Structure 1
Amino acid sequence: MLFAYQRNGAKLRRLPPASEPEAEACLASALWIDLYKPLPGQVEAVRQLGVEVPTLADMEEIEVSSRLYREEGLDYMTVVLPGQTELKEQISAPVCFVLSPERLVTVRHHVPRPFETYPERADKVGLGCARPEQVFLGLIEEIVGRLADLMEGSGRSLDTVSRAIFQPPVATRSHGAPAPERLQELLEQVGREGERLAHIRLALLTLERALGFFAQTVPDRIEQEGLKPAIKSLQRDIAAMEVHADFVSQRVALATDATLGMINLAQNATVKIVSVVAVLFLPPTLVASIYGMNFAHMPELERPWGYPGALGLMLASAAGAWAYFKWKKWL
């Protein structure tokens, strides 16, 4: 799909899909062209504007020279951003920003939410959308804000896990530890937040590198258009978020350890019950074993009270063991 945007006052307006004869002129007037899973015809249309569209394989290269480079006067900056697939699955995938003096071209194969929200907020984010550089920085600012929201969401999710473990409801507290099924749900929730945090940290790292590359490759335009303060502000925001990400990572580790500890306690309680039951049956088993021996002289076998006496002795031995466990507070 191809989305083309043109400046409309202080905002961006999406251009309607053009027919084939009008497509080139429509794209030539666009300030921002967003390619989402582009088709060959759309790639060729953008190539006619002098922009080579990188493939997904090119964008997935991890070498710095493959993600941040200048070619024929165009700056190619690839970052890795969290987003969704067409099936609403959460993934982290590369997005390429191609910056030219005339326009910004973005290439992506998933759906980061900032690409949907930024056009309507272009007048409220960054320095506006009069120039491609401003659109680029405004989109980066929208992405950083989205990452901050995701990190806050992870923090709230971890708060829920912590309350469930350390401050369970009164009804749950009266029955001991949370149920194993609930503990498994909490552990899975912590795992999801840890995975989301890993995606956020990777996105912050790649954004920081892209901003550094942008600041070095276009210093003249940055000074002329007053973009340097905006770049510095974004870099400070990213640095602060990286520190906060470290803090949230520690919370994820604490929540994981606490959840595993509660699972171990629940398992220990189950093993303890089984052990106590086994010990309670040991004295009756001993009595039954004694009277099951085949000795010639066992006087109790000839007495009328022998059978009920053996049963009573078994019951008394089990009750004595149970009372001893209660006295020692093992039960």
Structure 2
Amino acid sequence: MINAYRSNGSVTALTPAASLTHLPDDIVWIDLIDPSPDEDHYVESLLGIDVPTRDELKDIEPSSRLYVEHGSVFMTASLVWRAESNTPRLTDVAFILVNDRLLTVRYADPKSFGLFIAALGRAPEDNGNGRSLLAHLLETIADRTAEILEQAIARIDHLSTDIFRDRETRRPPKFLEAKLADIAECHRLIGKVRDSLGSLSRMLTFLMNTQAITCDPGLSSLCSTVARDIATLSEHAGFVAANISFLLDASLGLINVEQNAIIKIFSIASVVFLPPTLVASIYGMNFAHMPELGWTLGYPLALCVMILSAVVPFFFFRWKGWL
């Protein structure tokens, strides 16, 4: 899919079958979403550059993601995708400044792009060129990353409350074992966020040193502000990662404590039944008068008592959550 955005915020869909051979002057942003080879070639013919494919975006080394070629600025950053799901991912997005236009190539739909597109028509004066659009798009991406961190922090606070609340209101240690999966999901999300922030930080450092940004003091100031925000978010993400590590260690420690308490109960039960077992093993059935020997139902009754002595403790331990 090829979406071309004009300076007034309106969008036009482009197709290789269209007869358009050159772009109108008011088109400032071309957004390639999961493009086909034909769409890649079509945009290449309109802009006169090589559009990176999915495999090229994936295989680009971190040191080769940022470069200038024939006056066009090529940048690739990793953005968090599907942050609300249990399987957050990183998706590589190419940002290209060519002929004062912005070209983005993406094979996923991060929420930050939807937020930015929805706000395009609110401030048409900011859509005059691709450089301005790129700066504001990066600002939206930073805001969206901050929102993801806030949601992760709220989830971690909820986990912390569940883990450290009164023990009488939960069923250890299975309750804590279930929380380990939630902690792992938070750790995975924060790891993706930190990788994305590192990628964005490198991209912004490169972008602020290009002529396209240094020639405009306003955009240079905006990019510097976004770079500081990303640096702050990176530090905060590190703090959140440390809290997650603490929760993980605390959960494992509490699981060990609860398991030790259960073993202690079993040990006490063994000690309680040890003296009767000792007496029975010494004397056995060495008595002259045992009324049970004459019982007709004595043997079946003994079998029932043995079965009950095994079944009742089992279900009691299951009810207490020890098994």
TM-score by length of 1: 0.79
- Please give the per-residue CA displacement for 1:180-201, whole angstroms capped at 9, x wherever unaligned: 4432332111111111111111
Counterpart of 2:61 in structure 1 is: 63
Q: Is residue 2:177 matched to residue 1:191?
A: no
Say if 2:74 and 2:96, in contact at 8 Å, map to a contact too: yes
Aligned-pair CA distance for 1:60: 2.3
**1:13–1:119: 8 Å Cα contact kept in structure 2?**
no
Alpha-carbon distance in 1 for matches of 2:291, 2:38: 100
Go from structure 1 to structure 2 and tell me whether the alpha carbon gap of 1:192 and 1:304 turns closer, same or farther (over 3 Å shift). closer
Pick one of 111, 114, 135 that aligns with 2:112: 114
Structure 1: which amino acid aligns with 2:156?
L
Task: Tell me how far 1:20 sits from its aligned partner.
Answer: 1.6
CA distance in 2 between counterparts of 1:142 and 1:303 reads: 92
CA apart distance, 1:28: 7.2
- 5+ residue gaps, structure 1, are 294-299, 308-331
Q: CA deviation at 1:100?
A: 1.3
**Counterpart of 1:323?**
none
Residue 222 of structure 1 corresponds to: 214
Indicate the RMSD between aligned Cα atoms, in angstroms. 2.8
Question: Aligned with 2:89: secondary structure?
Answer: strand
For structure 2, which runs of at least 5 residues remain unmatched after alignment? 294-323
Moved more, 254-263 or 140-149: 254-263
d(CA) in 2 for partners of 1:16 and 1:109? Answer: 17
**What is the identity, as a one-letter code, of the residue corresponding to 2:252?**
L
1:63 is displaced (CA, Å) by: 2.8
Q: 1:233 aligns with which of 214, 221, 225?
A: 225
Paired residue type of 2:209: Q
Aligned-residue sequence identity (percent) comes to: 33
* Alpha carbons of structure 1 residues 35 and 181: separation in structure 2 relative to 1, 3 Å: farther
Task: Provide the rounded CA distance (Å) in 1 between the counterparts of 2:51 and 2:60.
Answer: 18
In 1, are the aligned partners of 2:76 and 2:95 still within 8 Å (CA)?
Answer: yes
Contact 2:28/2:100, CA 8 A, preserved across alignment: yes
> CA 1:273 to 1:24, structure 2 compared with 1: closer, same or farther past 3 Å?
farther
Distance 1:134 1:161 in 2: 41
Cα 1:258–1:178 change in 2 (3 A) is farther
Cα pair distance change 1:232/1:97, threshold 3 Å = same
| Structure 2 partner of 1:3 | 3
SS in 2 for 1:31: strand
2:142 to 137, 141, 144: 144
Corresponding residue number in structure 2 for 1:277 = 269
Equivalent of residue 75 in structure 1, options 54, 64, 73 = 73
How far did 1:229 drift? 0.9
Matched, 1:35 2:32: yes
Deviation at 1:41, TM superposition (A): 1.1
What is the distance in 2 between the residues matched to 1:53 and 1:71? 12
SS at match of 2:215: helix
- Trace 1:141-220 onto structure 2 (pairs within 5 A): 141-168=139-166, 173-174=167-168, 177-218=170-211
1:53 offset after TM fit, Å? 1.1
Go from structure 1 to structure 2 and tell me whether the alpha carbon gap of 1:58 and 1:97 turns closer, same or farther (over 3 Å shift). Answer: same
Partner of 2:82: 84
Q: TM-score if structure 2 supplies the norm length?
A: 0.81
Contact in 2 for aligned 1:126/1:137 (Cα 8 Å): no
Q: Could you tell me how far apart the structure 2 residues matched to 1:4 and 1:248 are?
A: 39
Write the distance in 2 (CA, Å) between the matches of 1:284 and 1:223: 92
**2-side partners of 1:128 and 1:118: how far apart?**
12
Query: How many residues matched?
Result: 291
Structure 1 position 74, deviation (Å): 1.0
Distance 1:126 1:211, change over 3 A: farther
Taking structure 1 as reference, are residues 285 and 44 closer, same or farther at Cα in structure 2, changes over 3 Å only? same
